[in-house]
Structure 1
Amino acid sequence: MTAEGEGNQVQFDATDQAYMQHQMDQGGWIAPVGALASTLARAADKAALAQLQQAGGSMAIDPDKIDEIARFFEDEAREMRARQADLYKLATIEPPGTDPVSTQAAEKYGQVGAGDERAYLDNYLQLADYFDGTAAKLRASTKQARTDDQNAADSFRA
């Protein structure tokens, strides 16, 4: 699914499509319009970020906000790991019946949940690890920047 945006095609990924569908399912006559507008904005933001990253761009963070941002990533990773048991249940679903369709469907469902390196659970936990790593890098970078600033200030005083 795509949307036109200032001469560019903005791709709706599966997350955008699911979000838009969820918003429309919430009901109301205006829900489809709001869902589309919100999804368009999210997709355009993701496309702009991807273009910036391809161009070798970077992002500057206010030093006073780094601890808050790192804490956000740590909290998200902690919440993701707390949901690990629920996600494991997705991979171990019991077939609704003993017929071949039910048993094969449950088997396939389990493979999608936690069958291999492409499975939902494995990727979900890798994302939690990535969030923890991002928080650690932010904290290390902040510590180094503060040390460098302090050393520079000390050298001016001497």
Structure 2
Amino acid sequence: MTAEGEDNQVQFDATDQAYMRHQIDQGGWIAPVGAVASTIARAADKAALAHSQSAGGSMRIDLDKVDELARFFDDEAQKMLDRADEVRDLSLVDPAGGDPVSTQAAPIYSHVASGGGSGYLENYLQLADLFAQTAATLKENTKQTRLDDQNSADSFGGGRLA
């Protein structure tokens, strides 16, 4: 699913698609419009960040907000790990019937869900691990930055200016 423009196409990942479906399912006549607009904005932001990072860009975070951001990554990683059993169940699909299409589709679906490096489950768990690593890196860098700031402040406080 994509949001298409003349010169720009924003890809909706599975999270964006699920969010949009959830918002639409919440009901109301305006829900689809709000869900689409919100999802397009989120997808565009993620695409811009990915483009910036792939171009060797960087992101600066206000030191006062780093703990909150690290907590977000920790929480999301934990939610993903908590949901891993549900994701694992995607690979345990029984054929819908005894016909050749159903019996051949079930193993393929199972492979897509959990098989190899391209399987949903493996990628899902890798993403959870990446979130956890990101949180740990943010915390460690913040700790070092605060220590450096304190050391700098202490060294300025030790000298008297006339």
Q: What's the TM-score, normalizing by structure 1? A: 0.82
Q: What is the deviation of 1:133?
A: 0.5
**Is the 2:3–2:40 Cα contact (8 Å) retained in structure 1?**
no
**Is the 1:94–1:106 Cα contact (8 Å) retained in structure 2?**
yes
Structure 1 residue aligned with 2:107:
107
Structure 1 residue aligned with 2:116:
116
Which secondary structure does the structure 2 equivalent of 1:41 belong to?
helix
Q: What is the deviation of 1:8?
A: 4.1
**Is the 2:80–2:125 Cα contact (8 Å) retained in structure 1?**
yes
Q: Give the share of equivalent positions with the same residue, in percent.
A: 59
**Is the 1:3–1:40 Cα contact (8 Å) retained in structure 2?**
no
Distance in 1, matches of 2:140 and 2:76, equals 19
Which secondary structure does the structure 1 equivalent of 2:8 belong to?
strand
Structure 1 residue aligned with 2:81:
81
Structure 2 residue aligned with 1:37:
37
Which secondary structure does the structure 1 equivalent of 2:111 belong to?
helix
Q: What is the deviation of 1:63?
A: 1.4
Which one is further off, 115-124 or 12-21?
12-21
May I ask how many residue pairs the two structures share in their alignment?
156
**Is the 2:80–2:124 Cα contact (8 Å) retained in structure 1?**
yes
Q: Which AA in structure 1 matches 2:121?
A: L
Matches within 5 A, 1:47-66: 47-66=47-66
Q: Which AA in structure 2 matches 1:11?
A: V
Q: What is the deviation of 1:131?
A: 0.5
Q: What is the deviation of 1:27?
A: 4.3
1:22/1:74 CA distance change after superposition, 3 Å: closer
Which one is further off, 103-112 or 31-40?
31-40
Which secondary structure does the structure 1 equivalent of 2:118 belong to?
coil
1:27/1:50 CA distance change after superposition, 3 Å: same
1:31/1:153 CA distance change after superposition, 3 Å: closer
Which one is further off, 85-94 or 35-44?
35-44
Which secondary structure does the structure 2 equivalent of 1:11 belong to?
strand
Which string of whole-angstrom CA distances, capped at 9 and with x for unpartnered residues, describes residues 57-110 of structure 1? 322222122222212211211121111111111112222333332221110111
Q: What is the deviation of 1:19?
A: 4.3
Which string of whole-angstrom CA distances, capped at 9 and with x for unpartnered residues, describes residues 18-74 of structure 1? 544554455443333223322332233233323433453322222122222212211
Q: What's the TM-score, normalizing by structure 2? A: 0.80
1:111/1:54 CA distance change after superposition, 3 Å: closer
Distance in 1, matches of 2:84 and 2:21, equals 25
1:68/1:28 CA distance change after superposition, 3 Å: closer
Q: What is the deviation of 1:141?
A: 0.3
